[in-house]
A and B are shown apart, each in its own frame.
Chain A
Amino acid sequence: MSRLVAGLSMAQQYQKRGHVTFDSLGNGLERRQPGNSYTSKTRINQKYHIVGFISSGTYGRVYKAVERNPKTDGTSPTTGKELYAIKKFKPEKEGDNIQYTGLSQSAIREMSLCTELTHPNLIHLVEIILEDKCVFMVFEYCEHDLLQIIHHHTQPPRRAIPASMIKSILFQLLNGLHYLHQNWVMHRDLKPANIMVTSSGAVRIGDLGLARRFDKPLASLYSGDKVVVTIWYRSPDLLLGARHYTASIDLWAVGCIFAELLSLRPIFKGEETKMDSKKTVPFQRNQMSKIVEILGMPEREEWPGLTNMPEFQQLQQLIISRGGIPPSLYPTSQSALHRQQNQNQPTGLETWYSHQLRAGQYPAEKSPGKLGFDLLNKLFEYDPDKRLTAAQALEHEYFRCTDDEPHNGEIWVPSNCFEGLSETYPHRRVSTETNDIGTSSLPGTKRGGLPDDSLAPAAKRR
């Protein structure tokens, strides 16, 4: 990692390391035997003590850990041992006889991007250890994530997430996303489970396993990963088969997360059509119709590129099969079909929104309000070219501070999303049954004790 020894260039560090090893081995001995075999320089179990198991996925497993012998360099005032989350990428094939199978594209992406990127709203990578045919990515430990926070609020007595907290989460999320996009990185898998929150209320975007650079695509984005973004957070342009999609797909997902923070359930909870045996990507009819139920049909007047979308025919069949008018969950959303003409009628999303505000019993002075709706509406823009960018979203009036001085009138949001709130959130559940971080691997289980929304894209990662 880049943070080895401050003030020394890498060459100098390497020279130092080389000398030390050289001396300790004595003259005439080689630092490494000639050959092509790999020996780890750092051993994960020597450096970290595994406290427990956090979660698993298609990539591998995540463990909670503490450092065994933290460096006391005097610069960090912390007395307690620092906590870490160690993500272990499993080799593709499992079994007793583990082999080097080549690192997955997802591991390579996460490793290479996390070493380049640093931002307060991005998960902080501490180091990467390659050992025993596995990759261990050591991250800072985050006590919460949005999925867990949302879940906590659904527990009786069900109560809405405070508006100030939602605002801070969104602002931090957009801030991290803006940084990613500025650096030409699309996340492509934003969802509540991937948004971490530290115990001091800082939001950290995590899981860059699907993220990729879009500054110099050598091949069209589509050719690499046929399916991106967990279905409920997937934008309509992706659902309609966009080949050259843009960073705007992440903003749609932010809209979905905003909505979910308000209503405590996914706003577009469609059912995924599984890929057929021919590995062709199916049209996600059910998911698309969930969106249409609330937002109304996209129209070419608002979205000029609509008719050129590969799945446009499928979309039209959606109308026909539903008797021309999409069924509506919300009384007036039929008018969404003609929302241009009916300016005075509330749109489906407006109806949905005010319904959520009522259900959440937001007090008038502490409500996401009309500005919150305006932001959400602009994130749910059908046309990807018109959808708000992260930079634009950060300047939205919703984030203007109306409190007293010192920030009155500025775009300003507290950087601790828990600020002023008394709610205590349960700590991340850690199972201590399987503390073995070694290479023997158990079949993956789902994220402990929580409704899991991450099952969806099992096929997308390889």
Chain B
Amino acid sequence: MAANYWTSTQKQNWLFETYEIADLREEIGRQHMKAIEQYPLPDRRLMFVFMKDRLMQLGKRLQFRQQCVATALVYLHRYFLFNAMQNVNIYLLTATAFYLASKTEECPHHIRLVVSEARQLWPEYIPNDPSRLGEMEFCLISEMHSQLIVWHPYRSLTTLKENQKLALTNEELSLAWSIINDSFMTDLPLIHPPYLIAITAMFLAVIFVPSKSSLDLKSPVIDYQSMLDATRMSSLGGRVGVSNSIASALNGSTMLHPSHDVSKQLSQQQNNASIKARTLVAAANSEKMQHIIEFLVESDIDVKAMIDATQDIISLYEMWEQYNEKTAKEAVGRCIRGQHLDT
């Protein structure tokens, strides 16, 4: 990772404690109680699945990189820290996030092109006037205090790939890549530094690979290199049984599962690296896992945070199984029309 994540506005201003996020949302809930009650929307994570799919739709029509989609999703996360989803035209906002991210990620598209493509996709929600998207860009930038540069876990995963000791296979890497893609549906980008998300994803992938075949999952992308340029966002989400099988794989690995003694012990022993190392190594049941655990100990990773992140990912997949695009679309549409956000 380049040196400047550590001084970045992301690290300084855009990482929150979970209670801080909860407080902010509670306040939005208080301020916009009426609208929120009148126009119920699916779970936040499912709303992000919905918005991710909208970004991908747009991305199919415009040349893009998945990193732009990731950045756009982080912009949306930041925006909704201070705004109720019921108060904005989500289609217009999503197109705006795409447009802005395409510029900050240096693959810019012209505003007219973005608007016309978005209009073809969602004619009833995108005004035929580029200045509306331009105005929304001001809202978005202003909420983010012009802090537009975002650090993603992808690069950290690339660093992990280069670590010979870990000897990650292409299959593990591509799974980890998909898990990172999916992490953008959760609050993880607002809570944890990118390297922690990458390491968590790697860990989950390594545990999950052996049991994956039982689920009959095809590896999303086999060639790691091609993932860097992938024009789609591979994902594990929405498949029945993913969360269960990850959870049971975790249990099988006898560590890091929150209910497990080892992980409890670990959290208490955060500061004692040698005890931590011994406990972890004892828990490992394969040579590979041993290498990974040694790596975790050496890199002094916050195990408690990793456990939390793991939990968030598992419950995302649980939630994702309930996702129904039609329901989400209808709820969003009702809200936009009812709130007169489409004019």
Report which A residues bind B (CB closer than 8 A).
1-2, 9-12, 14-15, 18-19, 22, 30-32, 34-38, 40-41, 99-103, 105, 108, 111-113, 115-116, 118, 128, 130, 133, 182-184, 212-213, 215-219, 224
Q: Tell me whether B146 is interfacial, beta carbon within 8 Å.
A: yes
A-B pairs with lowest CB-CB distance, top 5:
A100-B134, A102-B111, A11-B20, A112-B148, A100-B131
Query: Which among B17, B86, B103, B136 is the interface contact of A34 at CB below 8 angstroms?
Result: B86
| CB–CB B13/A2 < 8 A | yes
A-B contact pairs, 28 of them (CB 8 A): A1-B145, A2-B147, A9-B20, A12-B20, A15-B27, A18-B24, A22-B27, A30-B32, A34-B87, A35-B339, A36-B89, A36-B92, A36-B132, A38-B135, A40-B142, A100-B134, A101-B111, A102-B110, A108-B103, A115-B9, A128-B145, A130-B138, A133-B138, A182-B3, A218-B67, A219-B106, A219-B107, A224-B108
Instruction: Produce 1/0 per residue, B76-113, CB < 8 A to A.
Output: 00000111001111001100000110011111101100
Report which B residues bind A (CB closer than 8 A).
2-4, 7-9, 12-14, 16-17, 20-21, 23-24, 27, 31-32, 35, 65, 67-68, 81-83, 86-89, 92-93, 99-100, 103-108, 110-111, 130-139, 141-142, 145-149, 155, 339-341
Most chain A Cβ neighbours within 10 Å, of B17, B27, B68 = B27
| CB–CB A183/B3 < 8 A | yes
Chain A residues positioned under 8 Å from B20 (CB to CB): 9, 11-12
Q: How far is the CA of A143 from the CA of B32 in the complex (A)?
A: 48
Q: How far is the CB of B153 from chain A (nearest CB, A)?
A: 13
| CB–CB B87/A218 < 8 A | no
Query: Which among A40, A99, A116, A218 is the interface contact of B131 at CB below 8 angstroms?
Result: A99
Chain B residues positioned under 8 Å from A183 (CB to CB): 2-4
Closest to A118 in B: B7
Given known A11-B23, A108-B104, contact A101–B134 (CB-CB < 8 A): yes
Q: How far is the CA of A128 from the CA of B141 in the complex (A)?
A: 10
| CB–CB A2/B9 < 8 A | yes
Chain A residues positioned under 8 Å from B136 (CB to CB): 36, 38
| CB–CB A224/B106 < 8 A | yes
Q: How far is the CB of A13 from chain B (nearest CB, A)?
A: 9
Q: How far is the CA of A215 from the CA of B8 in the complex (A)?
A: 15
Chain A residues positioned under 8 Å from B131 (CB to CB): 99-101
Q: How far is the CA of A113 from the CA of B83 in the complex (A)?
A: 26
| CB–CB A103/B31 < 8 A | no
Q: How far is the CB of A19 from chain B (nearest CB, A)?
A: 8
Q: How far is the CA of A35 from the CA of B336 in the complex (A)?
A: 9
Q: How far is the CA of A130 from the CA of B260 in the complex (A)?
A: 51
| CB–CB A102/B99 < 8 A | yes
Closest to A216 in B: B155
Query: Which among A14, A41, A116, A118 is the interface contact of B24 at CB below 8 angstroms?
Result: A14
Closest to A107 in B: B103
Chain A residues positioned under 8 Å from B110 (CB to CB): 102
Chain B residues positioned under 8 Å from A41 (CB to CB): 142
Q: How far is the CA of A15 from the CA of B145 in the complex (A)?
A: 15
Query: Which among B13, B65, B87 is the interface contact of A35 at CB below 8 angstroms?
Result: B87
Most chain B Cβ neighbours within 10 Å, of A18, A36, A41, A103 = A36
| CB–CB A34/B134 < 8 A | no
| CB–CB B142/A38 < 8 A | yes
Chain B residues positioned under 8 Å from A1 (CB to CB): 145-146
Query: Which among B3, B86, B88, B106 is the interface contact of A36 at CB below 8 angstroms?
Result: B88
Chain A residues positioned under 8 Å from B65 (CB to CB): 218
Chain B residues positioned under 8 Å from A35 (CB to CB): 87-88, 339-341
Given known A34-B35, A103-B137, contact A11–B16 (CB-CB < 8 A): yes
| CB–CB A102/B133 < 8 A | yes
Q: How far is the CA of A105 from the CA of B100 in the complex (A)?
A: 9
Q: How far is the CA of A116 from the CA of B146 in the complex (A)?
A: 10
Q: How far is the CA of A443 from the CA of B29 in the complex (A)?
A: 48
Q: How far is the CB of B135 from chain A (nearest CB, A)?
A: 5
Closest to A183 in B: B4
Chain A residues positioned under 8 Å from B135 (CB to CB): 36-38, 100, 133
Given known A34-B35, A36-B132, A41-B142, contact A112–B27 (CB-CB < 8 A): no
